[in-house]
């Protein structure tokens, strides 16, 4: 169904996520993941940084001590004593200097326990063996590790909040920028695809963007549209020229047949044959006329400047067509609630549109069937007319193609849909009227015409 396919297209749009949403979602999640990872690894990192800092600090202290010893002698520290030890008030740091007799000469930094005044404490410990005044000494400089790791918790907390705040801030920035970045895409789709009406007669303007990908997309679409337009233009020109060229020979044939029919000495048999020829020729004429009409509509050769009352128009059509109802004894009900007047339209074309639809409703109806024409008005948005028949209906598989030229239905004995519905479609497109079909085989068909508010007076 025409309407259904449009609806499902819209649904597809709704079911999928927009590019912007996807990007935002991805950015948010990846940022959060990084923040969580960072916060989780923070203690470890701090540990490393702190221990590196402590080690550097210890080495620095050692250097100072060694400088003083080499300058002032070991006695500067020992003051005549055998060994020396000193620590800060809370025992975070301590230094000891003692003679050493061990065979190995360590110069290491490690973490180990020391008992200072009956307190067992964990120290980061620098041990250094050196020679002074021909004696070996062991220097130990320590710094508690507790001082290092005690800040982990609050740091982690602060980092978490700061980072989340930063993430949110950058997220907003990202969103704004992404929206700005993706704006041309929407513009391209709108200006090149959605809002352009076949056969793309209007000149497209390139969408201004500094993103080369979008420019590429835009120009590719424009090229494609131009190609479609040219192909269509060629077909249209061909149709117009071919129809025109066909009209002259048809004219000659028709006039010859007419002149022959006027001859008094023509026998009955020949007369009947002539009538058959005339009928066939007439069929050819109507096909060519229809093609010409479609090509002229597509060529925008009709003005759209008239104001038409739909009620009056429909009554005129019925006046012209009602004798066909009698023959098939078809019931007809025209019940319009609204008195809608259309503007910017072509009366003759609209007449043809309704004529063809109602004519079909009669032609494909069953004897004693019914035709109902109703309407509904959604004030401020659109107006609908429903042309409903109780006819033979259209098989579902035929519905997508009934508006195609020369499409034949397997079921219809009346010779297919011919060009009548193609003309309807062309006229509807020309007036931006949407045509929907719903049908059930052997129960009937409903054509729905949707008039946009732009053409409602």
Partner 1 sequence: MKVLIVEDEKTLAYEVEAFLKKAFYLVDLAHNARQALEKIEMNQYDFVLLDLGLPDKDGLIVLEHAKKHNSEAAFIILTARGNIEDRIKGLDLGADDYLPKPFSLLELQSRMQAISRRKFGVKNQALQLGEFEIDLQKRTVSHNSIEIEITRKEFDLLSYMLLHKNRVLTRIQLSEHIWGSFVDDDYDSNYIDVHIKNIRKKLGAYGNVEWLETVRGVGYKIRKQD
- Interface residue with partner 1, options 142, 199, 418, 444 (CB under 8 A): 418
Least distance from partner 1 to the Cβ atom of residue 419, Å = 7
Q: Does residue 147 belong to the site contacting partner 1 (CB under 8 A)?
A: no
Q: Does residue 300 belong to the site contacting partner 1 (CB under 8 A)?
A: no
Q: Which stretch binds partner 1 (CB under 8 A): 170-178, 202-210, 372-380, 412-420?
A: 412-420
Q: Which helix (H) or strand (E) holds 58?
A: helix 19-72
Q: Does residue 324 belong to the site contacting partner 1 (CB under 8 A)?
A: yes
**Token pair of 261 as six digits:** 């029919």
Strands 434-440 and 444-452: antiparallel
The rounded distance, in Å, linking the Cα atoms of 158 and 162 is 6
- Interface residue with partner 1, options 200, 354, 355, 383 (CB under 8 A): 355
**Token pair of 237 as six digits:** 């020109």
Q: Does residue 327 belong to the site contacting partner 1 (CB under 8 A)?
A: yes
What are the phi and psi torsion angles at 88 (to 5°)? -75, 170
**DSSP characters over 269-303:** HHHHHHHHHHHHHHHHHHHHHHHHHHHHHHTT-S-
The rounded distance, in Å, linking the Cα atoms of 258 and 255 is 5
The rounded distance, in Å, linking the Cα atoms of 114 and 125 is 9
Q: Does residue 426 belong to the site contacting partner 1 (CB under 8 A)?
A: no
Q: Does residue 273 belong to the site contacting partner 1 (CB under 8 A)?
A: no
Q: Does residue 378 belong to the site contacting partner 1 (CB under 8 A)?
A: no
Q: Does residue 262 belong to the site contacting partner 1 (CB under 8 A)?
A: yes
The rounded distance, in Å, linking the Cα atoms of 41 and 50 is 14
Q: Which stretch binds partner 1 (CB under 8 A): 20-28, 156-164, 231-239, 248-256?
A: 248-256
Least distance from partner 1 to the Cβ atom of residue 405, Å = 12
Contacts of 324 (CB under 8 A, 6+ apart): 359, 362
Contact of 108 with 126, CB cutoff 8 Å: yes
- Interface residue with partner 1, options 188, 297, 371, 419 (CB under 8 A): 419
Cα dihedral across residues 414, 346, 431, 287: positive or negative = positive
- Interface residue with partner 1, options 67, 150, 282, 368 (CB under 8 A): 282
Q: Does residue 278 belong to the site contacting partner 1 (CB under 8 A)?
A: yes
Q: How far is CA 279 from the centre of its chain?
A: 53
In three-state secondary structure terms, 30 is helix
- Looking at beta carbons only, is 12 or 248 nearer to partner 1? 248
Q: Which stretch binds partner 1 (CB under 8 A): 143-151, 329-337, 351-359, 378-386?
A: 351-359
- Looking at beta carbons only, is 189 or 292 nearer to partner 1? 292
- Looking at beta carbons only, is 209 or 254 nearer to partner 1? 254
Contact of 127 with 140, CB cutoff 8 Å: yes
- Interface residue with partner 1, options 129, 211, 289, 372 (CB under 8 A): 289
The rounded distance, in Å, linking the Cα atoms of 406 and 417 is 7
Note the residues at the interface with partner 1 (CB under 8 A): 244, 247-248, 250-252, 254-256, 258-259, 261-262, 271-272, 275, 278-279, 282-283, 285-287, 289-290, 292-293, 296, 301-303, 320, 323-324, 326-327, 352, 355-356, 359, 363, 415, 418-420, 423
């Amino acid at each position: 169904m025409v309407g259904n396919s449009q609806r499902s297209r819209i649904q597809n749009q709704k079911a999928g996520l927009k590019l912007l949403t996807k990007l935002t979602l991805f950015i948010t999640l990846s940022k959060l993941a990084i923040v969580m990872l960072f916060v989780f690894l923070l203690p470890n990192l701090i540990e490393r940084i702190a221990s590196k800092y402590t080690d550097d600090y210890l080495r620095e202290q050692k250097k100072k001590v060694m400088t003083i010893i080499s300058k002032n002698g070991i006695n500067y520290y020992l003051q005549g004593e055998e060994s020396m030890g000193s620590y800060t008030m809370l025992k975070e740091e301590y230094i000891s200097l003692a003679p050493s007799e061990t065979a190995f000469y360590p110069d290491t930094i490690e973490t180990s326990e020391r008992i200072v005044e009956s307190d067992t404490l964990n120290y980061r410990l620098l041990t250094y063996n050196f020679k002074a005044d021909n004696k070996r000494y062991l220097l130990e400089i320590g710094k508690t590790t507790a001082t290092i790791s005690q800040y982990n918790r609050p740091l982690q907390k602060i980092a978490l909040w700061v980072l989340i705040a930063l993430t949110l801030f950058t997220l907003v920035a990202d969103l704004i920028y992404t929206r700005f970045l993706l704006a041309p895409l929407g513009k391209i789709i709108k200006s090149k695809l959605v809002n352009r009406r076949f056969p793309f007669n209007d000149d497209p303007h390139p969408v201004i963007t500094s993103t080369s990908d979008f420019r590429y997309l835009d120009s590719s679409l424009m090229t494609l549209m131009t190609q479609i337009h040219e192909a269509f233009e060629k077909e249209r020109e061909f149709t117009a020229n071919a129809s025109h060229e066909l009209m002259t020979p048809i004219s000659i044939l028709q006039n010859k047949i007419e002149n022959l029919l006027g001859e008094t000495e023509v026998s009955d048999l020949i007369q009947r044959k002539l009538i058959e020829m005339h009928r066939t020729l007439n069929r050819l004429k109507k096909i060519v006329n229809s093609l010409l009409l479609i090509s002229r509509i597509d060529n925008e050769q009709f003005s759209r400047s008239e104001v038409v009352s739909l009620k009056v128009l429909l009554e005129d059509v019925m006046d012209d067509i009602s004798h066909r109802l009698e023959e098939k004894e078809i019931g007809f009900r025209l019940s319009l609630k609204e008195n809608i007047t259309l503007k910017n339209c072509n009366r003759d074309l609209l007449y043809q549109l309704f004529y063809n639809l109602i004519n079909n409703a009669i032609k494909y109806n069953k004897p004693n069937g019914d035709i109902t024409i109703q309407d509904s008005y959604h004030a401020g948005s659109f107006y609908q007319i429903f042309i409903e028949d109780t006819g033979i209906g259209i098989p579902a598989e035929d519905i997508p193609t009934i508006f195609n030229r020369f499409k034949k239905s397997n079921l219809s004995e009346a010779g297919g849909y011919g060009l009548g519905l193609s003309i309807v479609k062309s006229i509807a497109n020309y007036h931006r009227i949407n045509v929907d079909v719903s049908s059930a085989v052997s129960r009937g068909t409903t054509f729905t015409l949707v008039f946009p508010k732009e053409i409602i007076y």
